[in-house]
Amino acid sequence: MRIGELARRAGTTTRTLRYYESRGLLPARRAENGYRTYDETDLRLLQQIRTLQDFGFDLEETRPFVDCLRAGHPAGDACPASLDVYRRKLAELDGLIGQLESIRAEVAARLTLATETPEPRCEFGGSTP
């Protein structure tokens, strides 16, 4: 298939596909007429990349998954390097969750303090408690 069809089927743009190609994530095969050519395997690579990006993985983090698929494994997360990326991402997410929980607790404490303080309340703008 040509680049336009692959982009359509993958739900992306030809510009994105060219970018992935320049980063070495998508193969750069050309037909005799000079047009880029792709197959179902390339679509699978793109679907893997897109899924991981939807989960918050940056483009470089998808590389081990792409390499795993290219090596002939049935799933991009069947290789040790992919599992390492999952582990790092989970640690990163756990850290972010911890930060958010801390911020949430601080905001909740400030709200409680602000609503329990018997000072005069502002009468303009926003809602009153």
Q: For the segment 45-104, what is each residue's pLDDT rounded down to a tens digit?
A: 999 999 999 999 999 999 999 999 999 999 999 999 999 999 999 999 999 999 999 999
What is the spatial distance between Cα 38 and Cα 29, in angstroms, rounded to a whole number?
A: 7
Per the rule left: phi > 0, alpha: psi between -120 and 50, beta: everything else, 34 is left
Q: pLDDT at residue 119 above 90?
A: no
pTM: 0.77
Residue with tokens 């047009």: 35
Q: pLDDT at residue 17 above 80?
A: yes
Q: Are the CB atoms for 30 and 36 separated by under 8 Å?
A: yes
The predicted structure's pLDDT at residue 116? 86
pLDDT bracket for residue 129 (50, 70, 90): low
Q: Does domain 3-115 have CATH number 3.40.50.720?
A: no
Amino acid at 70: R
What is the spatial distance between Cα 41 and Cα 26, in angstroms, rounded to a whole number?
A: 10
- DSSP type of residue 74: S
Mean pLDDT over 32-39 rounds to 90
- DSSP type of residue 6: H
Long-range Cβ contacts of 60-69 (<8 Å, 24+ apart)? 61/85, 61/88, 61/89, 62/25, 63/25, 66/25, 69/41, 69/44, 69/45
Least confident of 32-41, 48-57, 115-124: 115-124
